[in-house]
Amino acid sequence: MISRLPTLLFALLLLLPASAASAASAVIPGLEAPEAPAAEAPAQTIDDTQDSGSDARIAARIRGIFRELPAFAAVDVAANQGVVALSGTVPDEGDIARAQAIAGRVSGVVTVENAIERDVSVDASLGGLTSIGDRIDGLARMLPLLAIAFTVALVIILLGYLLAGLTGLWRRIAPNPFLAELIASAIRFVAVVVGVVIALDMIGAGALMGAVLGGAGLVGVALGFAMRETIENYVASLMLSLRQPFRANELVQIGDLQGRVIRLTSRATVLMTLDGNHLRIPNSQVFKAVIINFTRNPQRRFEFDLGVDADDDAGAARMLGRDTLATLPFVLKDPPPEARIVEVGDSNVVIRFLGWVDQNESDWFKAQSLMILAVKQALEAGGFAMPEPIYRLRLDPRSATVPFENINDTRRDRDAPRAAPPTDAPANPAPPHEDLRPTDEVAQMVDAERAAGAGEQDLLDSSRPVE
């Protein structure tokens, strides 16, 4: 026993590294002993001898398999030295490769010589009618299941349409009729899709269901690209109906188009221009355009330019025009009117006059017209000239038809001192009297048209806040 102790200790020392490595891999995750390289599978070899009777067994085995398959009833099998020869006919092209694959899987087969051909005779082709008859019989047996699936799909679709028909509920939930109609359409669409999917799943047409859904997705993408502008306009109509950027009969400018709002439909915004014409703007263009609302703020500023002679006192003309605007009863005192010198031209100094009016009290166009007239009359009464552009012509003496002494007389007349302005001219002439109350004929026509088309679609809602 003592003599065997060194041998046992030596064996334990040899086994210790392997056991330590296995223990470490068991305790510490991820630490594993290196795997030995896998040995390559040896290539299949052909025996140099063959058992007697093996060819007969191979041929009998393949014939037995083919007898169980109706498609290979006319296939002949022969085997010699492990080489299997197949001949005969099959009804379908795919059965040729199938027969070769079956024969090659039999043990002991070295290779397969496939000489099978497809049977294209009339009798074989007419034999396909049998499969058609079988399919018809199968369809007849499925008729009860098809009827149940169709009934279930029809019930789901009818429930969806009944739910979508609760227009009162959706209008209470949705902020406007357009969105309520959109919700109802979505419910109807979802009901149809769910009904069809459930019906196809009941009859076991899962592949057909996937094809239908995939085809619907492709068709949806194609229609999305083809109807991009229509969809964009539809979405813009929804956003405008939610935001309510203007009210009916408000004077707005959308881009470079101006008019009073008649109605907002699901496709376009209808305006009436200031000359009484109807203007339909696509909602996609309205949603992206810059909108100026002239009616929202009743206080509106006007401005106009007048030019006085360059030799006149432009500062005095500026103050006279500003004081004249301040005396007009329809011009607001807060903010006060202003006058600014904006340009020195070739023959005049351009002064810009600005003032504010209340559109609820005064018609803006009439007020602006009277302001221009009042300031012009005040400047003329104050002795300020408003000259037209002056052009100097240089005449060649060889081609001139007017004697130079007449030209010199005209020049002397132009350079003569100007007469002083009359001293008895009133500083602020009284403005002409005119009824400035707002009487917009276009606004009256818009009201009349809205009253006449009360049943037409209009997404404008005065009860909702304006964006």
Q: What is the CA radius of gyration of the chain?
A: 50
Instruction: Select the highest-mean-pLDDT range: 97-111, 379-393, 444-458.
Output: 97-111
Q: Which residues pair with 89 in a beta bridge?
A: 117
Please give the pLDDT value at position 183: 83
Please give the pLDDT value at position 320: 94
From 213, 218, 166, select the one nearest 192 (Cα to Cα). 213
In CATH, the number for domain 54-125 is: 3.30.1340.30
Q: What is the tens place of the pLDDT at every residue in 387-428?
A: 776 666 666 665 545 454 544 454 444 454 544 444 444 455
In CATH, the number for domain 297-390+423-436 is: 3.30.70.100
- Among 17-21, 99-103, 144-148, which stretch is predicted with the lowest mean pLDDT? 17-21
Query: Identity (one letter) of the amino acid at 418?
Result: R
Secondary element (H or E) of residue 300: strand 299-309
Q: What backbone torsions phi and psi does residue 311 show, to the nearest 5 degrees?
A: -85, -10
Structure tokens given for 431: 């403005």
Please give the pLDDT value at position 59: 87
Mean pLDDT of 201-220: 71
- The answer to whether 175 touches 464, Cβ cutoff 8 Å, is yes
From 298, 301, 287, 300, select the one nearest 467 (Cα to Cα). 287
**pLDDT above 80 for 175:** no
Structure tokens given for 178: 């357009």
**Quick one: the chain helix, strand, coil %, rounded to 5?**
50, 15, 35
Q: What is the tens place of the pLDDT at every residue in 341-370?
A: 998 877 889 999 999 999 888 888 888 899
Please give the pLDDT value at position 279: 93
Q: Does domain 241-295+445-452 have CATH number 2.30.30.60?
A: yes
- Among 100-104, 205-209, 320-324, 457-461, which stretch is predicted with the lowest mean pLDDT? 205-209
Q: Look up the pTM and report it.
A: 0.52
Q: What backbone torsions phi and psi does residue 339 show, to the nearest 5 degrees?
A: -145, 130
The rounded mean pLDDT for the chain is 77
**Which distant-in-sequence residues (6+ apart) come within 8 Å of 292 by Cβ?**
252, 253
**Which distant-in-sequence residues (6+ apart) come within 8 Å of 368 by Cβ?**
302, 304, 357
Query: Identity (one letter) of the amino acid at 159?
Result: L
Q: Return the residue matching tokens 């739910």.
A: 163
Domain residue extents for the chain: 54-125, 137-226, 241-295+445-452, 297-390+423-436
**pLDDT above 60 for 380:** yes
Evaluate whether 54-125 and 297-390+423-436 have a shared fold.
Answer: no
Please give the pLDDT value at position 372: 93
Residue 336: which pLDDT band, with cuts at 50, 70 and 90?
Answer: very high
**pLDDT above 50 for 24:** no
Burial of 317 (0-12, 13-18, 19+ CB in 10 A): buried
**pLDDT above 70 for 127:** no
Structure tokens given for 128: 């396909």
**Which distant-in-sequence residues (6+ apart) come within 8 Å of 238 by Cβ?**
178, 179, 182
| Rounded-to-integer distance, Cα 361 and Cα 435, Å | 11
